[in-house]
Amino acid sequence: MPERRRKFSPEFRDEAVKMAVGSDRPIAQVARELGINPGTLGNWVAAYRKAHPVKEEPLSVSDRARLRELERENRKLKMKNDFLGKAAAFFAQEYR
C-alpha cells in the first residue's frame, strides 16, 4: 500500500528553514530532530536561499592578490599532476 504524503503547514516549514539556516548544524541533523526527510528540508532551504540571496562583499585588494596566487599555484600543480600521470603510464608500458 502506498505511503501517504505528509502535509506541512507554512509556519512549520518556515521554522524548520530558520533552524537549518540559522545554525551551524547540517540540514540532515535538523531534519532528524524534526522527524522529516532530509531531502525535503534541503528543498525548502534551497528555495529559501533562492528567494533570499546573500550579497557577497567584494574582495579586498589583498584577497584578490591571494586568489591570483592560489590560482597560479593550482595551475602549476595540475600541470605537474598531468605530467606525472603521463610519465607513470609511459613507464608502465615499458614493464609489460
Alpha carbons within 13 angstroms on the beta-carbon side of residue 69 total 6
Q: What is the pLDDT of residues 20-46, one digit of tens each?
A: 999 999 999 999 999 999 999 999 999
**Contact status, residue 40 vs residue 30, Cβ threshold 8 Å:** no
Q: What is the pLDDT of residues 48-84, one digit of tens each?
A: 999 999 888 898 999 999 999 999 999 999 999 999 8
Q: Cell triple for residue 14? A: 518556515
| 35 dihedral zone (left: phi>0; alpha: psi -120 to 50; beta) | left
Q: Cell triple for residue 61? A: 585588494
Query: 3-state DSSP call for residue 13?
Result: helix
Whether this model's pTM surpasses 0.75? no
